[in-house]
Structure formats: structure tokens, C-alpha cells
Amino acid sequence: MTGRRFAPLSVRPFGRLLTTYTVNEIGDAVGVVALAVLVYDRTEAVAPTAAIFLMAKFLPALIAPLLTARVDQLPLRRILPALYLLEAAAFGALGFIADSDFVLGLVLALALIDGTLAITGRGLTRGAVAAILQPAGLLREGNAMMNVGFAIASVGGAALAGLLIGTVGIGTALYVDAASFLVIAALLAATTNLPTVEVEREPFRERFRDGLRYARQHSPVRLLLIGQAVALVLFTLIIPIEIIYAKESLETTSAGYGVLLASWGAGIFLGSLLYLRVKNRSPWMLMIGSTVAIAIAYLGLAVAGTLLVACLISIVGGLGNGIQWIAVMTALQEQTARDYQARIAGLMESLGAAMPGVGYLLGGAIVALSNPRVAYAAAGAGLLLIVLAALPLRSRLEMTRPEPGFDSSGHPSGIALPETMGGRPEPAASHRER
């Protein structure tokens, strides 16, 4: 079992894709925190600080699918390093601005560029991972390992940002971030066995519309995307009011708030490890079970009376959090034809960046009208309603998966494996397994 769990590492170049994906997530977290601190320190105003999150997360989610449709027809060995080189340049420019004359408009523009590049890079990477692991029957194992990397980035990215800012300053922290993207670009440029593209070239607008049409017409894909979009709004509804919940509802300190966040983060990490053991279970059951765990946690937090109880409940919620996203992403990849992998994965990544903005607004509105406990209760109840709505849809969500080597019309297309690998991944040395 253990050997099978790590079998994707024997399928080249999964190890490098896993490394670059994780470093990208860490760099993204460090960059957003550093930029938020930079803007708040220079402006001492809430609106410009909030604008950073809008420009770095929400707006890129609207632009990235278009960019993905434009570049997913190009050789990965060229386009992925180019994307990361541009990210490195953006962070280098931001580091220069942090150490010299501050121009808010320029900072916001660079944040928008970097956010768009980051989402596009993640979508292309997900598509490449599906292309090399699905033929070997190791997609779930590979996604489980990527989920662990994501958990590490989620827990450690913000902490690393705080450490760098506190020890070397914001400018140097941004330069370090730029250097990490240079390393990613160099690593990918030196990777000779990335999947190659074998699709008929078409205008990117037509390709973008074709991807949306595929998502709309393919029932399992459509249901997964819509369900996850609504769930993401409810998942993130409580994020902007957690500090208010901690201080007013739990009557704890700033340190207590940090412990509460750390408890949820610890749960995410444990959930990502648990997924390694349960990933071969029905994706539908994993999605339902993990969503229920988060819903129960939110309902529990709505009535928790002490910090200790809230932290224990948060571990349970984080555990579900560590499984839910990757279970949905895996199910989505398994239901998607090869030619659409990068576009559909990019669309999911965009939803992951855009929907929280809606959740933040909704959570803030609920607290303005009532209190944080009501916001937690609303989020938990909403998630349970999603689960109830999904129960009758199991047969539609577990339809026969498309052949990985064919497009939606049944014609061979998509991403081919390198000729040096005989058109398929090298066999795993052993067998097995957000």
C-alpha cells in the first residue's frame, strides 16, 4: 500500500510538476500577504488593502480562463517556464517598488498580472498531471500527493511570509518570492519529458467558448462545477468574520484567534494525509462526507462556548477541508476528456479564486445584520442543503468516464505523452494509495 501511495513519483515528470505546483502555491501565499502588508503600511487605509485581494484573487479568476484557452495549445516546456518567468519579473518589480517610491496603481496592476499568471499556471499543471497519470491509473494517488503539497503551502505560506517580512523586510521578501519563481522556471525548462500538445490549432476565443460549452453540456462536469462554486461561497463566508467571532463570540485574545486558525490548518494537513488512505473510495462519497464534516464544524462553531471546544471542532472541519477540494478536483478530472483537461482545471482554479469574494461579501453582510454565530450557522445549514440536493444525483456524478485519449466527439486528441516514454508513462515501480 505504501509503495503504491508514492508510485506517481516513478512516472516522470510528475515529481517536478508536484514540486513546482507546491512552490507556486507557497509563493502565491507569500506574495499576497506581503502585498497586503505593503499596501496597508503605505496607505494606512482599509479600502486599498481590500483592493489587493480583489486584484490578486477575484479579477484574475475572470481573466485566467481566457489566457488558459490561449496558451494551452502551446508546448508546455515553453509556456510553463514563460509564465513563471513573468511571475518572477512581477515580484521583482514589486520588491523594487517596496524599497523605493510607492505607486498604488502600479502595485495593483502587478498584483492583477501575477494573480492571472498563477491561476493559469496551476490549471496547465493540473492538465499535465492528468495527462501523464491517468493512463497509468495513478491520478488519484498523484492528486493526493498534490493535496499534501497544497496543505503544506496553505499552512506554511502565510507563516513564511510573516517570518520573511519580520526578519528581512517586505522588499526582500518579495525578491525572495521572485527568486523562487525563477527556480521553478529553470526546473521546468530543463524538463524534457513534459506532455506534448496534439490538438488542431484554433482561435483562443473559439477554444474558450468550446471549453465552456463542454462544461455546460457534459452533465457530471456541469454539476461538479456548479456545486463546488456554491460550496466555495459557503466555505469562505466565515473567513472575514473569524477575527470578530474569536474576540466577540469566544471572548478570546489575538493569540487565541491565531490558535483557532492554526487548529483549522492542522485539520487541513491531517485531512490531506487521510486522503492518501481513502482516495480509492467512491469520489462521490468522499465529496459528500467531507462537505458534511465542514457543515457540522460550522454548526458546532456557531454554538461553541469556549476556545478549546472551538479549536477541537475546527480540527474536524479542517479535516473535511483537506479532503473536499481534492475529491472534487479528482472527480472532475476523471469526468473530463483529455483535450479539455487544462481548460476545465483552469476553470475550477478560477472558481476557487473568485467565489471567495462572494462569500466574503455575504459573510460581512450577515454579521452587519446579526452576529458571527449566525454567519457560521448559515454557512453550515447551506452546506447541508447542498448535500441533500446532491444525494439524488449520485448516478449522474458517477457516469462512465470519457476515454482519456479522446475528445468529447470520440476523436483522438489532447495531450500526448513524450515519445521518449513510448507514448505513455513509465510503469510504476510498485502498485497501490486536495
Average pLDDT over residues 147-159: 75
Q: 61 versus 425: which is more confidently predicted?
A: 61
Residue 428 is predicted with a pLDDT of 29
Q: Does position 178 have pLDDT exceeding 70, yes or no?
A: yes
Residues 86 and 224 placed together within one structural domain of the fold: no
At 202-241, the pLDDT tens digits run: 666 777 788 888 888 888 888 999 999 999 999 988 877 7
Q: Kindly write down the DSSP assignment for every residue of 329-362, as one continuous string.
A: HHHHHHTS-GGGHHHHHHHHHHHHHHHHHHHHHH
What is the predicted pLDDT for the residue at 401? 52
Question: Within this chain, do residues 223 and 172 fall inside the same structural domain, yes or no?
Answer: no
Last residue of a domain, one of 146, 164, 195: 195
Looking at the structure, tell me whether residues 256 and 387 fall in a common domain: yes
User: Is pLDDT at 5 greater than 90 in this prediction?
Assistant: no
Interval 284-306 mean pLDDT: 94
In terms of domains, do 339 and 245 share one? yes
pLDDT at 203: 66
Tell me, what's the pLDDT at 198?
55
Q: How confident is the model at residue 370 (pLDDT cuts 50, 70, 90)?
A: confident
Looking at residue 421, its pLDDT comes to 35
Domain identity same for 290 and 329: yes
The reply to whether 28 and 125 lie within a common domain is yes
Task: In whole angstroms, give the CA distance from residue 426 to residue 321.
Answer: 33
Number of neighbouring beta carbons within 10 Å of residue 209:
12
Residues in the chain: 434
Mean pLDDT confidence for 338-351? 80
The stretch 314-337 carries a mean pLDDT of 88
Residue 416 lies in a domain: no
Summarised one tens digit per residue, pLDDT across range 238-252 is 877 787 888 889 988
Q: Quickly list H helices, 134-218.
A: 139-168, 170-189, 204-217
- The answer to whether residue 431 is domain-embedded is no
Res 280 pLDDT > 90: no
Q: Which residue has the higher pLDDT, 184 or 152?
A: 184
pLDDT at residue 419, as a whole number = 36
Average pLDDT over residues 371-380: 94
Does 211 reside within a domain? no
**Does residue 208 lie within any of the structural domains?**
no
- Express each pLDDT in 25-84 by its tens digit: 888 878 877 887 888 788 877 678 767 777 887 888 888 888 887 887 788 888 999 999
pLDDT for 410 = 39
Residue (of 244, 200, 22) closest to 121 by Cα position? 22
CATH code, domain carrying 127: 1.20.1250.20
Indicate whether 268 and 164 sit together in one domain.
Answer: no
Mean pLDDT of the residues in the chain = 81
**Cβ of 419: how many Cβ atoms within 10 Å?**
9
pLDDT of residue 403: 46
| Chain segment 93-105, per-residue pLDDT in tens | 999 999 888 889 9
- The total number of structural domains that make up the chain: 2
Same-domain pairing of 182 and 316: no
228 and 136 both lie in a single domain: no
pLDDT for the residue numbered 318: 92
Based on the fold, state whether residues 143 and 250 are members of the same structural domain. no
431 has a pLDDT exceeding 50: no
Report which listed range, 29-33, 153-157, 179-183, is most confident: 179-183
Q: What pLDDT, on a 0 to 100 scale, did the predictor assign at position 396?
A: 67
Q: Answer yes or no: do 223 and 366 share one domain.
A: yes
Residues facing residue 406 across a β-bridge: 412
* Residue 134 placed within a domain: yes
Q: Residue 320's domain spans which residues? A: 217-397
User: Is 422 part of a structural domain of the chain?
Assistant: no
Q: How confident is the model at residue 398 (pLDDT cuts 50, 70, 90)?
A: low
Within a domain: 206: no
Q: Among 53-57, 97-101, 153-157, 328-332, whose mean pLDDT is lowest?
A: 153-157
Compute the distance between CA of residue 124 and CA of residue 391 in angstroms, rounded to an integer. 32
Does some domain include residue 250?
yes
pLDDT over 70, % of the chain:
86
Instruction: Tell me the one-letter amino acid at 404.
Output: P
- Decide: residue 335, CB within 10 A, 0-12 exposed, 13-18 middle, 19+ buried: buried
295 shares its domain with 365: yes
Q: Are 87 and 118 in contact (CB under 8 A)?
A: yes
More confident residue, 89 or 430: 89
